[in-house]
Amino acid sequence: MSEPTAVVRLTRDITVGLKSDDLADFYRDLHRHPELSFQEHRTAAKLAGRLRAAGFEVTEGVGRTGVVGVLANGDGPVVWLRGDMDALPVREATGLDHASRVDGVMHACGHDLHVTWLVGAAEALAAGRESWSGTLVVIGQPAEESGGGAAAMIADGVHERFPRPDVLLGQHASPGLAGFYPHTPGLILSASDDIDVVVHGRGGHGSRPETTVDPVVTGAYIVTRLQTVVSREVAAAESAVLTVGQFHAGTKANIIPAEARLALNLRTQDTHVRERILAAVRRTVAGECEAAGCPVPPEVTVRRGYPNTVNDAALDAEIAAVHRELFGAHTVLDFGPAMGSEDFSLLAPEGVPYDYWYVTTTSADVWDAAPGERLMDKLDNVPSNHSPLFSPDLSVLAPGTRTLVSAALSRLSG
């Protein structure tokens, strides 16, 4: 067996003293107290306190609730490590002892795990600072789930107020048997747009529909018709998802309302496909409203959420190689691009390479009990991100810390 490379050897050295029990307690505390986008005051304070204690110069309130910790440690590259902090409006159903104590709010996407990994990596790298040189910047980002967190930090001067990165690094908890570290060079996550639709009808009494223009019926036709956009207007080799996530209309059973509101979400991986689908949505909405005789044209508002996330291929290959050596060659695989979306890439200034990868978090007993023989069948049958049953295995706390540490050390000067 060959000798470990310097990065792997150093990673093992400076993480040998990781306090897994402490990280587990920190994680459980965050999980019990989830906070929605731009409300992460407690979470941010917890992160800031740990960073200060480790020797970082900490700035709070960046982009409203963001945290930036800077550890300047001599000449060398500047590495940014980013973790997001917000939770989701989901009522937890895990039954865990450390389940959410906030009704209707849950860390259902693993951002509590991301903050814990960030703390573990920051503390390990700070404790081992005699072994590397450069500048480590730790970013606690708010509001990833709402899509505005990275943009808010940028608007608040995160690129101007803090050392410019040479690389931006991040990772995300995912379903899958714990112990794997999927990497994808190039396109890894899709762009996302939210689309708001208002259908204007003519309200009236439920007993006299002939005197009205019913926006509920029109909205239902729009929802049905939109199901054909991807299946009939996008080539099979291209990827897109169009979802109607909200449909609101009316206040009482015997009142035909004057309007209906729909909220759509679009995921695409190609700008031409995006424009084609947006045009189809506008055409479909306008056509159905005209067919129904709506007295006022509909409103269609597109709100751009996330860009595509495109890893720097060379950087990803470098970090994937480190993770293979650290955890075993079989643990690093490529799932290819996903339809999920992130605002992570916005934090990289123009021309700065970034890398984003996954850490699988499903416990062995949950994985083994899930129906299916094939990998994808199993993945479809274990709780995933945004599920009220999502519950990462705490065995991933130390490995997920080491993935960040080793990635940072691959660039920090030895």
335-376 tens-digit pLDDT: 899 999 999 999 999 999 999 999 999 999 999 999 998 888
The question of whether 144 is a catalytic residue gets the answer yes
Q: How far is CA 369 from CA 183, 226, 357, 364, 386, in A?
A: 26, 37, 26, 8, 20
Domain chopping of the chain, boundaries: 6-189+308-409, 191-306
Amino acid at 106: M
Answering whether pTM is above 0.85, one says yes
Please confirm, yes or no, whether 86 is among the known catalytic residues: yes
The whole-number average pLDDT for the span 162-172 is 98
Residue 95 has a pLDDT of 97
Q: What is the per-residue pLDDT for 375?
A: 84
At residue 305, the pLDDT reads 82
Q: Which two three-digit tokens encode residue 395?
A: 């065995």
The whole-chain average pLDDT of the chain stands at: 97
Helix (H, G, I), strand (E, B), or coil: what is residue 306?
Answer: strand
Kindly tell me if the per-residue pLDDT of 1 is higher than 60: no
Summarize the chain as % helix, strand, coil (round to 5): 40, 25, 35
Residue type for 38, please? F
The pLDDT value recorded for residue 2 is 65
Q: Provide the β-strand partners of residue 193.
A: 266, 304
Cβ-based neighbour number of residue 350 at 10 Å: 5
Instruction: Indicate the fold that domain 191-306 takes in CATH.
Output: Alpha-Beta Plaits (3.30.70)
In the structure, what pLDDT confidence band is assigned to residue 304 with cuts at 50, 70 and 90?
confident
Looking at the DSSP bridge assignments, the partners of residue 355 are: 169
Region 166-189 average pLDDT: 98
- Asked if pLDDT for residue 22 goes beyond 80, the answer is yes
Annotated active-site residue in 86, 259, 288, 325: 86
Catalytic residue among 35, 40, 92, 144: 144
Q: How far apart are CA 131 and CA 126, in angstroms?
A: 10
How much is the pLDDT for 3? 76
Q: What is the pLDDT, as a whole number, of residue 13? A: 95
Specify which residues 172 forms β-bridges with.
358
Residue 265 pLDDT greater than 60, yes or no: yes
How does pLDDT run across 77-91, given as a tens digit for each residue? 999 999 999 999 999
Q: What is the pLDDT of residue 376?
A: 85
| Alpha-carbon gap, residue 210 to 149, rounded angstroms | 48
CATH class for the region spanning 6-189+308-409 = alpha beta
What pLDDT, on the 0 to 100 scale, is given for residue 168? 98
Backbone angles phi, psi at 238, to 5 degrees: -100, 155
Amino acid 396: pLDDT: 98
